[in-house]
Amino acid sequence: MSELRQDPLTGGWVIISPRRNKRPFDFVSETKEEEATECSFCEGHENETPPEILSLRKKGTRPNTPGWWIRVVPNKYPALQLRGKANVRKRGIYKEMEGVGAHEVIIETPEHKEDLFSLEDEHIRKVIEVYRDRIVKLTKIPYIKYVLVFKNQGREAGASLRHSHSQVIATPIIPRNIQEELEGAKRYYELNKRCIFCDIMAQELALRKRVILENEMWVAFTPYASRFPYEICLLPKEHTFIFQEMTDEELAHLSQILRDVIRAMNKALSNPPYNYFLHLPPLKKGSSRYYHFHLEIIPRLTKLAGFEWGTGFYINPVPPEEAAAKFCQG
Amino acid sequence: MSELRQDPLTGGWVIISPRRNKRPFDFVSETKEEEATECSFCEGHENETPPEILSLRKKGTRPNTPGWWIRVVPNKYPALQLRGKANVRKRGIYKEMEGVGAHEVIIETPEHKEDLFSLEDEHIRKVIEVYRDRIVKLTKIPYIKYVLVFKNQGREAGASLRHSHSQVIATPIIPRNIQEELEGAKRYYELNKRCIFCDIMAQELALRKRVILENEMWVAFTPYASRFPYEICLLPKEHTFIFQEMTDEELAHLSQILRDVIRAMNKALSNPPYNYFLHLPPLKKGSSRYYHFHLEIIPRLTKLAGFEWGTGFYINPVPPEEAAAKFCQG
């Protein structure tokens, strides 16, 4: 069972999760790529994962058997779990709580060697719809305060299994990065009576030095103060989009720009390891006036070192304007 | 020339540093260990670094020639540099400034294959004295607001050269991690009229579940909410220590506990890659009433992934109590 502990100085929470030590490949710097025959995410290995929560599958096939395209299962080595109580306990100067929440895996394809963004458009779109459906479901759990959908691609990006998958973690606390963005956005709104994301987008679209791609509903650009080389942000053009309420057509536009931008990145940087995640406003708060949801993509090309850990400064050796130009060359 | 850019949402600053792209081994995932004969930190290669700022050397030897034990030189690929102006410029919604500051390298030994903590005690102590001396000097530059001394050991910890060295970066802005710790410490002080670090230390010393080592002046423990497996914190027992004013005897106590704790870590974890850094209060502010300087050590055993980047949560698979027990077994 994992545990949440609060840093008494900064207020940040840490998940102490001893079971995750048992994950395959953790703490091992060099391992050979696992074979498809041993992969528990492959078709035919359905009994090697916890029972499925959801799947898109051929008519007439039963849950937890072959015949699926996309499968959602609980993480076998969960950082957080549904059982337990979301009560904060004091331990002298310290605070802790049980590691309650949810941790799910979205297996994006039955094929071991496929990547999400080399699949058919329809298939990619369905994965994005599954994101929405899981967010809608997890939001309904009373003690859940936040849901993060994310993808780790490649070992350097923290993926412990090669088979293409995304993950969802639902937390009983609003994460500090979200809290910080919310506070910044609120501060800006109170001062200017406008959404900071809308203003950033307007400046980027006027300047066009960092814009990579756009479609009817979305724009992709390299942020002005990118922390990482080739970092990308995807923003919906319309302020009032609510991710959970997006129509299938709106999701198709997200799916299209995400596919195109990842393909451009793979071409420009030779399939780099990367992470992406959705930043939504907290689920049960009226912050959508000043917060504007977005998706961040971080290629994992550099290592953080003592200076970054010690200060919180990031050192980015690639100016975002150069990064955008490189993506657009393709 | 590098540039500082502020994230308009969070207020965090990023260093955009195109020259650092030219560092050896950056963006290269696999390279063979460089040979001593090609290493510009080795004795006899003094002309391959920028001219030295300081050195401890044999009597009668000239600067930038052999005969030294410890050598301080400007970083050849600096993140920040002394020339330029520390003025913030506006670019529409964004803010930036020239990358002013300082970035120095402390070459800890002339021997290519030595590690700092396998050197003679006297030598290790001298390195710590050099830390103090560089902090004192850099503090005197008018626009410098903060000085961080840190060490990256091993490629996985971000070291681009194997030859043992530490670094010093002086910044024109108080880093966000420091700001956050200061605010937390101040909040606690105002509420309790006591230093939070002193209270943490008292609880740790009473409990003894996470204490690794102590001497007359210092205590080493694994923090209750450790973000990383086997993370270590060193705290001076006395609240009023000011690093810059520490006597050689006080520094000898730091040097001794740092040496012992790194040796214990190397034994328990087979010489892991690691970072350490000093957290001092900002140099020109009266925060020493509620802030308590310390040194943090982070072994680099796990990779951060999308969940950590997306939320700011850390997932630590090793409970700090287990980590402390493992260090104490040795």
Reply yes or no on whether the pLDDT at B27 is more than 80: no
Burial of A142 (0-12, 13-18, 19+ CB in 10 A): exposed
Residues with Cβ within 8 Å of A192's Cβ and at least 6 positions away in sequence, in order, are A199
In percent, the amount of chain B with pLDDT more than 90 equals 86
Choosing from A105, A140, A175, the residue where a domain stops is A175
Instruction: Note the pLDDT tens digit of each residue in B304-320.
Output: 999 999 999 999 999 99
Q: Are A4 and A101 in contact (CB under 8 A)?
A: no
- pLDDT for A25 equals 45
- pLDDT for B19 equals 75
Instruction: Please indicate whether residue A176 or residue B26 has the higher confidence score (pLDDT).
Output: A176
Choosing from A141, A175, A209, the residue where a domain stops is A175
Q: pLDDT grade, residue A287 (50/70/90)? A: confident
Using CA atoms, how far apart are residues A103 and A90, in angstroms rounded to an integer?
Answer: 25
Closest-CA residue to B4 (of B104, B95, B138): B95
Cβ burial A50-68 (10 Å sphere, 16+ → b, else e): eebbbbebeeeeeeeeeeb
Please compute the mean of the pLDDT values over residues B200-219 and round it to a whole number. Answer: 97
Instruction: Note the pLDDT tens digit of each residue in B132-151.
Output: 999 999 999 999 999 999 99
CB contact under 8 A, B279 and A199: no
CB contact under 8 A, A316 and B26: no
Using CA atoms, how far apart are residues A74 and A49, in angstroms rounded to an integer?
Answer: 8
CB contact under 8 A, A316 and B15: yes
Annotated catalytic residue, options A165, A253, A279, A294: A165
Q: Are A289 and A242 in contact (CB under 8 A)?
A: no
Please compute the mean of the pLDDT values over residues A151-171 and round it to a whole number. Answer: 94
Reply yes or no on whether the pLDDT at A32 is more than 60: no
- pLDDT for A33 equals 53
Which residue's structure tokens are 């071409």? A267
Residue in B closest to A198 by C-alpha: B93
Of B14, B26, B148, the CB nearest to A227: B14
CB contact under 8 A, B303 and A146: no
- pLDDT for A22 equals 66
Q: Are residues B247 and B215 in the same domain?
A: yes
If residue B89 lies in a helix (H) or strand (E), which one and from where to where? strand B89-91
Structure tokens at B281: 């209060």
Whether A45 is catalytic: no
Q: Are residues B305 and B210 in the same domain?
A: yes
Sequential DSSP letters for A166-183: EEEEEESS--HHHHHHHH
Of B159, B196, B317, the CB nearest to A26: B317
- pLDDT for A31 equals 43
A&B contacts, CB < 8 Å: 263
Please compute the mean of the pLDDT values over residues B33-44 and round it to a whole number. Answer: 80
Residues with Cβ within 8 Å of B316's Cβ and at least 6 positions away in sequence, in order, are A14, A15, A16, A17, B226, B227, B228, B229, B231, B302
Q: pLDDT grade, residue B253 (50/70/90)? A: very high
Using CA atoms, how far apart are residues B3 and B18, in angstroms rounded to an integer?
Answer: 9
- pLDDT for B241 equals 83
Closest-CA residue to B71 (of B38, B43, B112, B48): B43
Which residue's structure tokens are 């040194």? B295
Reduce the DSSP state of residue A233 to 3 states and report it.
strand
Closest-CA residue to A279 (of B93, B12, B309, B14): B309
Please compute the mean of the pLDDT values over residues B18-31 and round it to a whole number. Answer: 54
- pLDDT for A240 equals 83
- Domains of chain B: total: 2
Q: Are residues B278 and B214 in the same domain?
A: yes
| Mode of pairing for the β-strands spanning A13-16 and B314-316 | parallel
Instruction: Note the pLDDT tens digit of each residue in B255-276.
Output: 999 999 999 999 999 999 999 9
> For residue A92, is it left (φ>0), alpha (ψ between -120 and 50) or beta?
left
| H helix runs in chain A, sequence order | 121-139, 176-192, 196-207, 248-269, 306-311, 320-329
In percent, the amount of chain A with pLDDT more than 90 equals 86
Q: Which ipTM score applies to this complex?
A: 0.92
- pLDDT for A213 equals 97
Reply yes or no on whether the pLDDT at A29 is more than 60: no
Reply yes or no on whether the pLDDT at A23 is more than 90: no
Instruction: Note the pLDDT tens digit of each residue in A117-153.
Output: 999 999 999 999 999 999 999 999 999 999 999 999 9
Choosing from A125, A140, A175, the residue where a domain stops is A175
Q: Are residues B88 and B218 in the same domain?
A: no
Of B199, B225, B318, the CB nearest to A7: B225
Q: Are residues A16 and A74 in the same domain?
A: yes
Instruction: Please indicate whether residue A89 or residue B37 has the higher confidence score (pLDDT).
Output: A89
**Which residues share a beta bridge with B46?**
none
Q: Are B46 and B33 in contact (CB under 8 A)?
A: no
Q: In chain B, how many H helices and how many E strands?
A: 6, 15
Other CB atoms within 10 A of residue A178 CB? 23
Of B12, B150, B314, the CB nearest to A307: B150
CATH number at residue A312: 3.30.428.10
Using CA atoms, how far apart are residues A145 and A282, in angstroms rounded to an integer?
Answer: 7
Q: Are residues A171 and A260 in the same domain?
A: no
Determine whether the annotation assigns residue B163 to a binding site: yes
User: Residue A233 is part of which domain span?
Assistant: 177-329
In percent, the amount of chain A with pLDDT more than 70 equals 94
- pLDDT for A241 equals 83
Using CA atoms, how far apart are residues A315 and A222, in angstroms rounded to an integer?
Answer: 15
Please compute the mean of the pLDDT values over residues B38-45 and round it to a whole number. Answer: 94
Q: Are residues A77 and A219 in the same domain?
A: no
Q: Are residues B153 and B225 in the same domain?
A: no
Reply yes or no on whether the pLDDT at B30 is more than 50: no
Please compute the mean of the pLDDT values over residues B283-303 and round it to a whole number. Answer: 88
Mean pLDDT rounded to a whole number for chain A? 92
Q: Are residues B215 and B302 in the same domain?
A: yes
Using CA atoms, how far apart are residues A237 and A294, in angstroms rounded to an integer?
Answer: 10
Q: Are residues A181 and A136 in the same domain?
A: no
Determine whether the annotation assigns residue B112 to a binding site: yes
Q: Are A15 and A99 in contact (CB under 8 A)?
A: yes
Mutate to test the interface with B, among A224, A269, A276 (most CBs of B within 10 A): A224
Q: Are residues A201 and A170 in the same domain?
A: no
Angle at B70 between CA A316 and CA B253, to 5 degrees: 95
Reduce the DSSP state of residue A207 to 3 states and report it.
helix
Using CA atoms, how far apart are residues A134 and A138, in angstroms rounded to an integer?
Answer: 6
Using CA atoms, how far apart are residues A311 and B12, in angstroms rounded to an integer?
Answer: 10
Mean pLDDT rounded to a whole number for chain B? 92
Using CA atoms, how far apart are residues A275 and A273, in angstroms rounded to an integer?
Answer: 7
Distances in whole angstroms, Cα of residue A211 to Cα of each of A3, A171, A176, A325, B75: 42, 33, 28, 9, 34
CB contact under 8 A, A319 and B156: no
Please compute the mean of the pLDDT values over residues A207-234 and round it to a whole number. Answer: 97
Mutate to test the interface with A, among B2, B3, B13, B15 (most CBs of A within 10 A): B15
Q: Are residues B190 and B163 in the same domain?
A: no
Using CA atoms, how far apart are residues B99 and B82, in angstroms rounded to an integer?
Answer: 9
Reply yes or no on whether the pLDDT at A26 is more than 80: no
- pLDDT for A83 equals 87
Q: From the CA of A43, how many Å to the nearest CA of chain B?
A: 25
- pLDDT for A264 equals 97
Instruction: Note the pLDDT tens digit of each residue in B50-98.
Output: 999 999 999 999 999 999 999 999 999 999 999 888 999 999 999 999 9
Please compute the mean of the pLDDT values over residues B283-297 and round it to a whole number. Answer: 85
Using CA atoms, how far apart are residues B26 and B29, in angstroms rounded to an integer?
Answer: 8
- pLDDT for A330 equals 65
- pLDDT for A61 equals 97
Strand order in the sheet with B211-214: B54-57, B68-74, B102-107, B165-171, B146-153, B274-279, B294-299, B232-236, B218-221, B211-214
Residues with Cβ within 8 Å of B245's Cβ and at least 6 positions away in sequence, in order, are none
Torsion sign over Cα A195, A201, A206, A210: positive
Mutate to test the interface with B, among A135, A222, A307, A318 (most CBs of B within 10 A): A307
